[in-house]
Structure 1
Amino acid sequence: MADFHMILQKSLIWMEGLAAIISLFYYNRSKKDRYWNVFSIYLIIMFISEAIGKWGYLFMDYNKPYFFNYFVIPLEFLFFYWLYAAKSLGRPKLFYILSLLYLLSFIPSEIFFTTKKIILSFNYTFGCLILMVLVIMEYYKQINSAEILNFSRNKMFYINLGVTLFYIGTLPFWTFFTLIKNYRELHDIYFSYFLISGIIMYLLFSISFIWGKQSSS
């Protein structure tokens, strides 16, 4: 299983890189919705961050748990809160409220939970629950949209599906990680899902730029 996980981990990183490269080809093509350029920049930053997490120790001395807990993961959540609430749903105030709630969740996380783990279970769980609310709101918007029959041209359809599979699908894994890790077989199965769903998510992000480009042109 370890070799299989190594293959998946490498595939995930390169799929992130592929998504970033594909997004660059469509960078600045939309004259109407420029915020998709921000999505491209986000994908580039994520790929660089994951590359640092994988190979950074070869070039510099840094604290990996702090790097992910206080930069990478917060950036992921705050970006998606912005993309969903402020842009797709058109409710910027909701973005500010949810972002503030998420940032406030660091307080109990710092007080009651250890910061030595790569992912802070409480903080990550709270962030995912907020994201889950936005995902449901986005699904509701898409289902009730007049463009439901043209969902293949909707970037957010692919993004929402990817976020559902990865962030929402792996929520129990990170929430109950301290318990799941004691059951090796269950851990390996769920960790495999975590990696595979990540690969699928970035594949869907890539597709959103290719097949969904007409929705924002």
Structure 2
Amino acid sequence: MTELEIILQNSLIWVEGLAALVSILYYPKIKNQYWKYFSYYLILMFLCEVMGKWGENFIDYNKQNFYNYFVIPIEFIFFFWIYAAKSFAKPKLFYVISVLYLLSLVFGEVFSTKKIIMSFSYTFGCLILMGLVIMEYYKQINSSDILSFNKNPMFYINLGVTLFYIGTLPFWTFFAYIKDYRDIYHIYFSYFLISGIVMYLLFSISFIWGKQSS
């Protein structure tokens, strides 16, 4: 990694920690709302990143499998839940897309030979997420509260997901090819880290400026 990428990668971990801390500070206000699970999610993701960064110093584990079969599936399924089940109030949609995503994990394991990140299931998960993001933008634009969009926590979450997951979709989908073109790789990898930092800052802002509702 370049010096800039090392700085950004270290910064990303601590920004995730900041988002988790902010969610803890605001927990008393949301403990009786479904938003408390967003706090749990942010804390878990921070702990997972700590594990990914320093875990090998303490225990012997397969980092790639840890991310492919635990961290990344939790990320997708959580966002499927917060969009489909909560924002759109369509729990059946949540169950359907979650099952389809989990099936893509099995399909990717059987047929994929690229194990750094299972590109098929990641791409499939991002495509589902893209559809949910578009639906959320449509919902916000047509909402009677559009003038108060800055008080809607989903506005910040949706923007963060757009920048990070949707913005980096081509990078991970075509990673096996992009990695051979080092200039393009370093530019896109830097964007991946920067967008991750921005996303978690937006998650923090969703607690600070957003008005959570049960």
| TM-score, normalised with respect to structure 1 | 0.96
Q: CA deviation at 1:108?
A: 1.8
Residue of structure 2 equivalent to 1:10: 10
* Between 107-116 and 179-188, the greater mean CA deviation after superposition: 107-116
Residues 129-168 of structure 1 deviation map (CA, whole Å, 9 limit, x = unaligned):
0000000010000000000000010000000000000000
Tell me if 1:39 matches 2:33: no
Residues 78-98 of structure 1 deviation map (CA, whole Å, 9 limit, x = unaligned):
000000000011100000000
Q: What secondary structure is seen at the aligned counterpart in 1 of 2:27?
A: coil
Residue of structure 1 equivalent to 2:213: 216
Residue of structure 2 equivalent to 1:112: 111
Counterparts in 2 of 1:147 and 1:6: CA distance versus 1, 3 Å: same
Q: CA deviation at 1:111?
A: 1.4
Residue of structure 2 equivalent to 1:29: 29
Residue of structure 2 equivalent to 1:202: 200
Mapped contact 1:53–1:64 kept (Cα < 8 A): yes
Residue of structure 2 equivalent to 1:73: 72
Q: CA deviation at 1:115?
A: 6.0
Mapped contact 1:28–1:37 kept (Cα < 8 A): no
Residue pairs, 1:184-199, within 5 angstroms:
184-199=182-197
The match for 2:129 among 128, 131, 134 is: 131
Cα distance in 1 between the residues matched to 2:48 and 2:212: 29
Corresponding letter in the other structure for 2:142: N
Q: What secondary structure is seen at the aligned counterpart in 2 of 1:35?
A: coil
Mapped contact 1:20–1:43 kept (Cα < 8 A): yes
Q: CA RMSD in A?
A: 1.3
Cα distance in 2 between the residues matched to 1:205 and 1:153: 13
Structure 1 residue ranges, 4+ long, deviating more than 6 angstroms after superposition? none
Q: What secondary structure is seen at the aligned counterpart in 2 of 1:105?
A: helix
Cα distance in 2 between the residues matched to 1:110 and 1:48: 26
| TM-score, normalised with respect to structure 2 | 0.97
Cα distance in 2 between the residues matched to 1:13 and 1:69: 18
Residue of structure 1 equivalent to 2:162: 164
The sequence identity of aligned pairs, in percent, is 69
Mapped contact 2:114–2:176 kept (Cα < 8 A): no
Cα distance in 1 between the residues matched to 2:36 and 2:167: 27
Mapped contact 1:65–1:115 kept (Cα < 8 A): no
Cα distance in 2 between the residues matched to 1:211 and 1:114: 44
Structure 1 unpaired stretches of 5+: none
